[in-house]
Structure formats: structure tokens, C-alpha cells
Amino acid sequence: MPSPVIAIHGGCGTLAADLQSAADWAETRAHLAAALRAAWRILAAGGAALDAVEAAVVVLEDSPHFNAGHGAALTEDAVHELDASIMDGATMAAGAVCTVRTIRNPVRAARAVMERSDCVLLAGAAADAFAQAHGLACVGNGYFTTERRVQALAALKARAARGTIALASEAERHG
Amino acid sequence: TVGAVALDGDGRLAAATSTGGFNNKPAGRVGDTPVIGAGTYARNGVCAVSCTGQGEVFMRRVAAYDVVARMSYAGQTLRQATDALVLDMLSSHRIGAGLVAVDAAGNVAMPFNTLGMARGWIAADGRLRVATHK
């Protein structure tokens, strides 16, 4: 049998050095390492790949440095609408949620959809209600907000007001 | 967007992805992350894939599944399939794109066509590695 492996990403883009302080960059790397360790503890103990990927994504959703969960981007209406999915290559089972607003860890809701519903994808308020009914941690939408995202939205809206949104950088657009 | 792919000691593969979308996105907009086959896919014996980037193109290109198909039907390696997707196909759309993938043998691929991608991996040697730029 093969040796276990885990690989993760925290998003791609300009990752411009000036977008974050040195301390933030250090914490970003520390949270990547924490996500890997959370997964590795499961794999090294003979656990399932499915549990490992969920554990890694939960750590990254809880970090303010990544565009998922706490630290997520804001919509044009200055709220958070989150999406997540998970898939088990052994059974081809899969689950996903989209445009959810109150589920602290959307990847856990995706897994609940996979294991405790006949669906693959649940959307919006119904998905929020499904998560709550299945005992997942739910929070106010403001839990996901960080100052960095508030400033990013304000900057892009200011560009739109000035008519210079076409000049917005990749980082401004996507964060 | 964040994501993870894993291969366990019993040879099982899995993938997961989660995102907030993008700054100032329209209300109700959904990208590739929750669309199985676009942003996330896993099939035992082949590979597991988690994508990041501008979701609309990943959806139209069914990107995560494209990697599995290239390996299953065209006999490409993980490296060939993921490079072709990210560095050729998705780059031709002039969008930022990246992914992490692992195959049934434990090979890892993490191509991206932007200046950086936050990423990390622990492979067979058990060593933990983290990177952000090229």
C-alpha cells in the first residue's frame, strides 16, 4: 500500500508582499503548517483520506488569512456567501453547499450533505437550516468578517464610483 | 479559496475545497468550488484534485474532472494532466488558476499560473513543507 500524502492550498494570486505585514505572512505559513499537521495526525494513525482533507480545510477556514470561512471575501452587499465541497474517491460520494451565510465551517456542512442527505449540493438558507438541524456550529454572518476584507470592498467600490474599476489589480478584485 | 487532497494508507483518495468567492461578487454568485467536477474531484485509483482561481472558467472547463479524464483516458501522468490544465488551457483564458492534486501512487502536483499560491504538503518522507511564491 502507498504511503499517505496530504497537499493543501490557500488560494493563488499576486500574493503581493505589501498586502500583508511580515507577521501576517509568518502567521499565514504557520496556519498552513497547522492544517497539514491536523491532516497528518489522522493519516499517520491509519485514518481515512476523507477525514484528513476535512480536518485540513477546517483549520484553513478558521484562519483569518484565507478566503474561506473566517476571513472570507465580501459580496457587493457587504455580506458573506460561502461555498464548499468534499468528495470521497473510494465511493464517489460527494457533498457541497453554496451561498451559505451562517455555517462556521462550510466544509463540515458539505460532508453532512454527503453523508446525511440524498443530495450532492444544497444552496442558500435551506443549506444553513440543514446544517443547524444536523448540529453543526452556526454563527452570525459577521463572524466571517475581517478588517482587511472590509477595506478591500471599500477600495473596489471607490474605484467603481470613480470609474476606474477596470484598473483594479487581481489582488483588489479577488483578494 | 482553500483546499486539500489526500491519499491514505489504504490507497483511498479524497478532496475538499472551501471559499468566500471574490471581493465585491454579485449576490447569489456561485463559482467552481461547490460544483463537483469543476473545483473538486476524487476517484480512487486515479487522483484527487482541489482548484483555486476564477471559478467561471473552471466550471465551463469542468477542470477538476478534466485532470481525472486526461489520466484515465489519455494515459497522461498527474504532472502532464495538471500542467496541461493550468499552464495551457486555463492560462489561455488569461485567468489566475492553481490547483493541488495527488495520484494513487502518492505523486503530488501543485501548478499555478499566478505570482504565488499558498500551499503545503507532506509526502511519503513525512517532511512538512510550506510555500507561498514560486
Q: What is the pLDDT of residues A2-60, one digit of tens each?
A: 899 999 999 888 665 556 788 888 999 999 999 999 999 999 999 999 999 999 999 99
Find how far residue A77's CA is from the centre of its chain: 19
Q: Among residues B22, B16, B119, which one has the least CA distance to residue A107? A: B16
The grid coordinates of residue B27 equal: 449576490
Q: Which of B11, B25, B119 sits opposite A73 (nearest CB)?
A: B25
Residue A14 pLDDT: 66
Q: Which of A13, A37, A47 sits opposite B96 (nearest CB)?
A: A13
B20 vs A: CB within 8 A = yes
Q: Which residue of B has its CA nearest to A81?
A: B20
Cβ atoms of A61 and B1 within 8 Å: the answer is: no
**Residue B113 scores a pLDDT above 80:** yes
Cβ atoms of A110 and A97 within 8 Å: the answer is: yes
Q: Which residue of B has its CA nearest to A6?
A: B6
% chain A with pLDDT above 70: 94
State pLDDT tens for residues A90-116: 999 999 999 999 999 999 999 999 999
B117–A69 CB contact, under 8 Å:
no
Q: Which residues of B touch A61 (CB under 8 A)?
A: 2, 18
Q: Which residue has the higher pLDDT, A166 or A92?
A: A92
> Residue range B48-60: average pLDDT?
96
> Residue range A159-175: average pLDDT?
75
Q: What are phi and psi of B130, to 5 degrees?
A: -135, 145
> Residue range A121-137: average pLDDT?
98
**Residue A171 scores a pLDDT above 90:** no
Cβ atoms of B14 and A52 within 8 Å: the answer is: yes
B62 vs A: CB within 8 A = no
Residue A175 pLDDT: 57
Q: Which residues of A touch B105 (CB under 8 A)?
A: 2
Residue A170 pLDDT: 67
Mean pLDDT (chain B) is 95
State pLDDT tens for residues B63-72: 999 999 999 9
Element (H, E) at B15: strand B13-19
Q: Among residues B70, B62, B3, which one has the least CA distance to residue B32? A: B62
Catalytic site includes residue B82: no
Residues 6 or more apart whose CB falls under 8 angstroms from that of B38 comprise: B32, B51, B55, B58, B59, B61, B62, B63, B64, B65
Instruction: Tell me the shortest Cα–Cα distance from B74 to chain A, in angstroms.
Output: 20
State pLDDT tens for residues B5-40: 999 999 999 999 999 999 999 999 999 999 999 999
Rg (chain B; Cα; Å): 14
Q: Which residues of A touch B31 (CB under 8 A)?
A: 83
B82 vs A: CB within 8 A = no
Q: Among residues B8, B67, B63, B1, which one has the least CA distance to residue A72? A: B1
The grid coordinates of residue B53 equal: 482561481
